[in-house]
Amino acid sequence: MSRQPSDLGEVNTWRVLESGGSELDAVERGCGQCEIDQCDGSVGYGGSPDESGETTLDAMIMDGNTMEVGAVADLRRVKNAIGVARKVIEYTKHTLLVGESASLFAVRMGFPYEDLTTQKSLSLYSEWLNQSCQPNYWKNVVPDSSKSCGPYKRREEVTYKEEQTSSQRSVHNHDTIGMVVIGVSGTVASGTSTNGAIHKLPGRVGDSPIAGAGSYADTTAGGAAATGDGDIMMRFLPSYQAVEYMRMGTDPTVACQKVISRIQKYAPKFFGAIICANTTGSYGAACNKIPGFTQFHFMVSNPLLSRPTEQVVDCI
């Protein structure tokens, strides 16, 4: 099952399993297809330019048998982020590589340097500059970040107030491909890929490449993957929490709902959703209801379905 409707990605994932490939192979193929297709403009190259106009990528893949994780963040000039993340598992003893060093590792693993900029991403960046760099992710700075492009300096007096625009900004400008694969023997794998929040500060890393936040897999319990405002969601490790609820016997739908409810207590206006699947193949999803985001769509493939099927849940 995957967070983002992408028929070709789902079909390729299922074909990998049918042809005898591993669950990790299936996750890599499915997320990789979404990177190629530039799903929703928020996965892969040519989308979500940061403050300097550059597109960078985050991805993670997790083996629920061994609990190994491979991840990359702030990956530059390399298109196949989920493929590089897989190589982190296979060829290093590390879990997460970031920035320019992640790109150098990718090249050593045989991935080519490629331009991640497109005419669309350049246009998005130009429009943002022409709108006085609105919206952006700065606070407590001078000049006023709600009216100016900066450059900014910190204010001597720091004020604390609730962020009013983050959820609306995220609803329209950010998403992630998140995938959970359950093999015939109950083996679980998961993964994510994204180009992050649009107009983010260079160097920003969200929840997607963080194990337990963006996704989590444990063959003894199940798997989960999250999407939304990663700066908020990563603070709660929602994917890990959902898997732990399922470990205790909680139904996947209820597990997802409990995770969303937990975050709601601290950030009632957050944009976010999560998918959950246990080792028996049962699945569910939940999302936080806010203006502009009242339903959550996700894709499911299993032996009972003739083709990948889009599912919809009402947000809570």
Judged on CB neighbours under 10 Å (0-12, 13-18, 19+), 214 is buried
Q: Distance of CA 88 to CAs 109, 112, 116, 162, 234, Å?
A: 9, 16, 21, 38, 21
Cα distance between residue 84 and residue 70, in whole Å: 8
Copy the structure tokens of residue 42: 């928020």
Residues of the chain scoring pLDDT < 70: 1-12, 14, 158-174
Annotated binding-site members: 204-207, 227-230
Torsion of CA 207, 254, 291, 209, to 10 degrees: 10
- Residue 167 has what pLDDT? 41
Q: Give tens-digit pLDDT for 47-92.
A: 999 999 999 999 999 999 999 999 999 999 999 999 999 999 999 9
Q: Which residues are catalytic?
A: 176
Terminal-to-terminal C-alpha distance of the chain: 21
- 314 has which bridge partners? 295
Altogether, the residues listed in the chain come to a count of 316
- 192 has which bridge partners? 60, 178
135 cis-preceded (ω within 30 degrees of 0):
yes
- Residue 41 has what pLDDT? 84
- Residue 166 has what pLDDT? 44
CA 70 to chain centre: 14
Q: 7-115+173-314, which class in CATH?
A: alpha beta
Q: Are 284 and 314 spatial neighbours (Cβ–Cβ below 8 Å)?
A: no
Q: State the pairing for strand pair 57-63/188-194.
A: antiparallel
Annotated binding-site members for substrate: 204-207, 227-230
Q: State the pairing for strand pair 283-287/295-300.
A: unpaired
Query: What does the domain layout of the chain look like in residue ranges?
Result: 7-115+173-314
Cα distance between residue 69 and residue 168, in whole Å: 32
Cα distance between residue 96 and residue 25, in whole Å: 19
- Residue 131 has what pLDDT? 97
Which of helix, strand or coil describes residue 248?
Answer: coil
- Residue 8 has what pLDDT? 57
Which of helix, strand or coil describes residue 126?
Answer: helix
- Residue 165 has what pLDDT? 42
Q: Give tens-digit pLDDT for 228-241.
A: 999 999 999 999 99
Q: Are 2 and 30 spatial neighbours (Cβ–Cβ below 8 Å)?
A: yes
- Residue 5 has what pLDDT? 47
- Report residue 295: phi and psi, to 5°: -135, 155
Whole-structure pTM value: 0.92
Cα distance between residue 64 and residue 83, in whole Å: 18
